[in-house]
């Protein structure tokens, strides 16, 4: 007798890796986590999390049948099933993660980057249901992005397509250093860290008083700046506006390249609502060729933040099986 199918969604992070068993309707039946940082050897990590998933499957009940493993990870490459040169994970160089899983299972194993997983999650369970062309941006510590064209993720020839965070808005005109080794990458502006960097510049140029002048760079975060903006703090508002302007300008390129129906903003920065959405819309529209104007929606994600990573990762399995 065939059981009710569930997919294992695994979100690999630098400190913790979280997993869940998710049915086709998006219910997380059972979940758990593994401390990534404790496993400097990726093969050992794979063995441990695989066993945890199987234990969770056993506890879920005998009526469930596992359909596959969907894994979101920084620098995950879908073509090769690898994680390549990630910043912030304990594994250096190229880790053949899918191969490691396949030593334990013959089920499908799909590895991609976390923002691609979020895009598939948005398509299957979120606000992109029914859309065939859209973009998801994850605005956290960094800037992640996933592009969907014709109902499928854009992987490209190399498997690393859909990247926005390390494109440059003002080539040669920015000295803002990026962790990738380049300067002026979008991520250095449009991310929680980018917002903090911008706030410092705004604060340096302005003489206006602000309670944010009491915070060190390390104490600042997107939430503190958002709360200040809510109270009318002019520096906080200006920092959001500049951040939204940089994103809006660049999104005009994304629209020209892929003509999406909507662009979804997800994660920390997106919680600042109109402080970020309004300048994004304004500067995107201003920079669009007229034929695209007024056609592209800038929307919040339809996924709950706490479940999105696991849902997104698990959704890769259904997406894979249904596109076979």
Instruction: Kindly list the residues in this chain that would bind a copy of itself in the complex (CB under 8 A).
Output: 75, 84-85, 131-134, 147, 149-150, 152, 154-164, 166-171, 173, 180-182, 249, 252-254, 256-261, 287, 289-292, 295
Minimum CB separation of residue 155 from a copy of itself in Å reads 7
| The two three-digit tokens of residue 205, written as one number | 């140029």
| The two three-digit tokens of residue 302, written as one number | 């339809």
Is the CB of 141 or the CB of 307 nearer to a copy of itself? Answer: 141
Count of other CB atoms within 10 angstroms of residue 294: 7
Minimum CB separation of residue 66 from a copy of itself in Å reads 28
Rounded distance between C-alpha atoms, residue 76 and residue 117, angstroms: 10
Contact predicate 322/68, CB 8 Å: no
Minimum CB separation of residue 166 from a copy of itself in Å reads 4
Is the CB of 257 or the CB of 306 nearer to a copy of itself? Answer: 257
Rounded distance between C-alpha atoms, residue 200 and residue 194, angstroms: 10
Minimum CB separation of residue 48 from a copy of itself in Å reads 28
Is the CB of 152 or the CB of 306 nearer to a copy of itself? Answer: 152
Contact predicate 107/68, CB 8 Å: yes
Q: Find the length of the chain.
A: 324
Q: How many CA atoms lie within 13 A of 137 on its CB side?
A: 33
Rounded distance between C-alpha atoms, residue 136 and residue 123, angstroms: 10
Rounded distance between C-alpha atoms, residue 64 and residue 59, angstroms: 10
Minimum CB separation of residue 136 from a copy of itself in Å reads 14
DSSP character at residue 167? S
Is the CB of 40 or the CB of 171 nearer to a copy of itself? Answer: 171
Count of other CB atoms within 10 angstroms of residue 88: 14
Is the CB of 68 or the CB of 184 nearer to a copy of itself? Answer: 184
Inter-CA distances, 214 with 138, 193, 203, 219, Å: 29, 18, 11, 9
Minimum CB separation of residue 300 from a copy of itself in Å reads 19
Is the CB of 215 or the CB of 292 nearer to a copy of itself? Answer: 292
Is the CB of 157 or the CB of 216 nearer to a copy of itself? Answer: 157
Is the CB of 163 or the CB of 233 nearer to a copy of itself? Answer: 163
Minimum CB separation of residue 80 from a copy of itself in Å reads 12
Minimum CB separation of residue 160 from a copy of itself in Å reads 5
Is the CB of 41 or the CB of 256 nearer to a copy of itself? Answer: 256
Minimum CB separation of residue 154 from a copy of itself in Å reads 5
Q: Which residue has the tokens 């007798």?
A: 1
Contact predicate 168/177, CB 8 Å: no
Contact predicate 85/93, CB 8 Å: yes
Rounded distance between C-alpha atoms, residue 166 and residue 144, angstroms: 9
């Amino acid at each position: 007798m065939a059981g009710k199918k569930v997919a294992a969604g695994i979100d690999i992070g630098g400190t913790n890796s979280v997993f869940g068993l998710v049915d086709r309707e998006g219910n997380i039946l059972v979940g758990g986590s593994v401390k990534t940082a404790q496993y400097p050897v990726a093969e050992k990590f794979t063995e441990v999390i695989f066993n945890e998933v199987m234990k969770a499957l056993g506890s879920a009940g005998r009526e469930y049948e596992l359909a596959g493993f969907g894994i979101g990870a920084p620098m995950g490459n879908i073509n090769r099933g690898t994680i390549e040169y990630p910043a912030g994970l304990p594994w250096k160089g190229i880790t053949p993660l899918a191969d490691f899983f396949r030593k334990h299972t013959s089920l499908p194993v799909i590895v991609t980057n976390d923002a691609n997983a979020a895009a598939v999650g948005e398509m299957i369970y979120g606000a992109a249901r029914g859309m065939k062309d859209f973009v998801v941006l994850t605005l956290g510590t960094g800037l992640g992005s996933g592009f969907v064209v014709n109902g499928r993720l854009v992987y490209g020839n190399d498997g690393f397509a859909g990247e926005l965070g390390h494109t440059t808005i003002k080539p040669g005109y920015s000295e803002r250093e990026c962790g990738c080794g380049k300067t002026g990458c979008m991520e250095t502006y449009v991310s929680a860290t980018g917002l903090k960097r911008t706030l410092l510049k705004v604060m340096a140029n302005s003489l206006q008083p602000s309670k944010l002048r009491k915070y060190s760079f390390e104490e600042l975060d997107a939430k503190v700046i958002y709360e200040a903006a809510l109270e009318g703090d002019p520096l906080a508002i200006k920092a959001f506006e500049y951040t939204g302007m940089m994103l809006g300008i660049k999104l005009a390129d994304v629209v020209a390249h892929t003509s999406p129906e909507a662009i979804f903003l997800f994660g920390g920065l997106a919680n600042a609502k109109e402080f970020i959405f309004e300048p994004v819309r304004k500067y995107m529209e201003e920079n669009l060729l007229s034929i695209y104007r007024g056609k592209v929606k800038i929307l919040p994600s339809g996924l709950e933040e706490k479940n999105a990573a696991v849902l997104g990762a698990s959704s890769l399995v259904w997406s894979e099986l249904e596109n076979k």
